[in-house]
Structure 1
Amino acid sequence: MNIGQYHLLTVDRLTNPGAYLTDGTEDVLLPTKYIPNGTKKGDKLNVFVYRDSEDRIICTTQKPYAKVNEFAYLKVRDAGNVGAFMDWGIDKDLLVPFREQKNKLQRGQWCLVYLFLDEKTDRLAATAKVAKYFDSEVDLGEGEEVDLLITNTTDLGVNVVVNNRFKGLIFENDLFHDVLEGDRIKGYVKTIRKDGKIDVSLRKEGLENLELGAQQILDELKKNEGYLPLHDKSDPEEIQSLLQMSKKNFKRSVGILYKKKLIQLESDGIGLVKLS
Structure 2
Amino acid sequence: METKKPGLVYTLKVVRVSDLGYVLDLEDGKEVLLHRSEAKSKHEEGNMVEVFLYQDHEGRLAATETIPKVRLDSLAWLEVAGVNRKLGVFLHIGIKKDILLSKDDLPESWDEWPHLGDRVYSGMKLDKKGRIFADLATEEEMVEQAEAATEEMFNQQTSGYVYKMNEAGVLLFTESGHIGFIHNDELKVKPRLGQKLGARVAFVREDGRMNLSMRARKEIAYSEDSERIYQYLRENKGQMPLTDKSSPEEIKETFQMSKAAFKRALGKLLKEEKIIQEDGKTYLQI
**TM, length-normalised to structure 2:** 0.55
Give the aligned partner of residue 244 of structure 1. Answer: 256
| Number of residue-to-residue matches in the alignment | 197
Cα drift, residue 217 of structure 1: 0.3
* 8 Å contact kept, 1:88–1:94: yes
Say whether 1:185 aligns with 2:197.
Answer: yes
SS of equivalent residue, structure 2 residue 92: coil
Say whether 1:109 aligns with 2:108.
Answer: no
Paired residues for 1:197-208 under 5 Å = 197-208=209-220
CA–CA separation in structure 1 for the residues paired with 2:159 and 2:186: 16
Give the aligned partner of residue 218 of structure 1. Answer: 230
CA–CA separation in structure 1 for the residues paired with 2:148 and 2:79: 20
| Aligned residues with identical type, % of pairs | 23
In terms of Rg, which structure is larger?
2
CA–CA separation in structure 2 for the residues paired with 1:217 and 1:167: 34
Cα drift, residue 258 of structure 1: 1.6
Give the aligned partner of residue 134 of structure 1. Answer: 146
Say whether 1:146 aligns with 2:155.
Answer: no
SS of equivalent residue, structure 1 residue 254: helix
Amino acid at match of 2:65: R
SS of equivalent residue, structure 1 residue 231: coil
1:149-169 Cα deviation digits (max 9, x unpaired): 123321212222233422222
Amino acid at match of 1:136: A
* 8 Å contact kept, 2:75–2:121: no
Give the aligned partner of residue 121 of structure 1. Answer: none
Cα drift, residue 273 of structure 1: 0.8
CA–CA separation in structure 1 for the residues paired with 2:281 and 2:212: 30
- Structure 1 residues 107 and 269, CA, compared in 2 at 3 Å: closer, same or farther? closer
- Structure 1 residues 264 and 153, CA, compared in 2 at 3 Å: closer, same or farther? same
* 8 Å contact kept, 2:244–2:266: no
Give the aligned partner of residue 89 of structure 1. Answer: 92
CA–CA separation in structure 1 for the residues paired with 2:261 and 2:279: 20
CA–CA separation in structure 2 for the residues paired with 1:252 and 1:260: 13
CA–CA separation in structure 2 for the residues paired with 1:233 and 1:132: 47
- Structure 1 residues 89 and 246, CA, compared in 2 at 3 Å: closer, same or farther? farther
Cα drift, residue 147 of structure 1: 0.4
1:99-136 Cα deviation digits (max 9, x unpaired): xxxxxx96641496367xxxxxxxxx985422211112
* 8 Å contact kept, 2:146–2:178: yes
- Structure 1 residues 56 and 222, CA, compared in 2 at 3 Å: closer, same or farther? same
SS of equivalent residue, structure 2 residue 161: strand
CA–CA separation in structure 1 for the residues paired with 2:172 and 2:206: 17
Cα drift, residue 247 of structure 1: 1.9
**TM, length-normalised to structure 1:** 0.57
Amino acid at match of 2:121: V
Query: What is the RMSD of the two structures over their aligned residues, measured on CA atoms?
Result: 4.1
Cα drift, residue 182 of structure 1: 1.0
Give the aligned partner of residue 258 of structure 1. Answer: 270
Give the aligned partner of residue 182 of structure 2. Answer: 170
- Structure 1 residues 58 and 158, CA, compared in 2 at 3 Å: closer, same or farther? closer
Say whether 1:228 aligns with 2:228.
Answer: no
Cα drift, residue 181 of structure 1: 1.5
- Structure 1 residues 232 and 109, CA, compared in 2 at 3 Å: closer, same or farther? same
Q: List gaps (5 residues or longer) in structure 1.
A: 1-30, 33-49, 78-85, 96-104, 116-124
CA–CA separation in structure 2 for the residues paired with 1:154 and 1:56: 40
CA–CA separation in structure 2 for the residues paired with 1:149 and 1:174: 16
SS of equivalent residue, structure 2 residue 243: coil
Cα drift, residue 209 of structure 1: 2.2
1:66-85 Cα deviation digits (max 9, x unpaired): xx98656979x9xxxxxxxx
